[in-house]
Amino acid sequence: MKFKFAAFLCLMLLSACMPIPAAPPTASAVPSFTPLPPVTSSPFPLITATQTFISTESPTPLPVGNTPISTSTLAPTNPRYCADPQVIEVIDSFKSSMLNEDGSLLSLPVNPVTGMDVRFFRTGNVLTYSQEQAKFLFISTYQADWGAHPASGENVIGAFHEVVVPELQKFLQRIYTLHCNELRYGGATYQPNWIYDGNFYALHFPGTEEFGFLDWHTWVIGIDYVNGKPYIYALTQFFWEP
């Protein structure tokens, strides 16, 4: 009997020495996170790219071969505008900004009053960029809707530097000609027209004999004056559509 009592006493002492399991944490113990405040200014730094002056005044003459189909839509003539070297400087600055992906350079010739309208397709959506917004077009990830592609009918979605810039860079390294207030184009299934009232320059690539000159391409840059200084107010491309 004394042995059973001693064993029971030892068992009690051992259980008293065992650690007591901790209680599970309550809901209030789960850490909470405060959302970050909204960004009120652009988080992107300005890109500082090497500014390369690439003249558009004297493009290389076209090789002799079969004559490409070339027609045009004329706007009212403006000899004073077409002879203004400041306008050519704006085109050169725009070209350099595209090839060097320099947002600060691109923003300089953007119209300070109306901004710059951009149409990737002639019947697509218009996106308007202010001078400040233009600074970030080469790094902004905003997914814009540029409208339906004339071949596939599907909407093209993407950032400016993903959609517009590659096409412009490819075009600006081709042999093209400049046409003041004349929308030059090749064989087309539609009538290309400049829908704005302002002055413009058409940068026209006539296409190649290999593709029957149906690979012609024209970018039109609307440039007009604000307080006596030329600025870009619109940008549109034209090409052969099925």
- The domains of the chain are located at 71-239
Q: Check pLDDT > 50 for residue 90.
A: yes
CATH class of the domain comprising 71-239: alpha beta
Conformational region of residue 158, where left means phi above 0, alpha means psi within -120 to 50, and beta covers everything else = left
Model confidence pTM above 0.85: no
Q: How high is the pLDDT of residue 77? A: 76
pLDDT score at 74: 73
Q: What is the pLDDT of residue 43?
A: 29
- pLDDT band for 73, please (50, 70, 90 cuts): confident
pLDDT of residue 11 exceeding 50: no
Per-residue pLDDT, averaged over 85-101, amounts to 98
For the cut 90, the answer to whether the pLDDT of residue 168 exceeds it is yes
Q: What is the DSSP string of the chain?
A: -HHHHHHHHHHHHHHHHSPPPPPPPPGGGS---PPPPPP-S--SPPP---------SSPPPPPSSSPPP-EEEEPPP-HHHHT-HHHHHHHHHHHHHHHHT-HHHHHTTB-TTT-EEEESSTTS-EEEE-HHHHTTTTT----EEEEE-TTT-PEEEE-HHHHHHHHHHHHHTS--EEEETEEEE-S-SS-----SSS-EEEEEE---GGGTTTT-EEEEEEEEEETTEEEEEEEEEEE---
Of 9 and 138, more confident: 138
Interval 2-26 mean pLDDT: 42
Highest mean pLDDT among 1-5, 126-130, 185-189: 126-130
pLDDT higher at 72 or 2:
72
Average pLDDT of the chain? 79
Q: What is the model's pLDDT at position 76? A: 67
Listed range (10-24, 29-43, 86-100, 210-224) with the worst mean pLDDT: 29-43
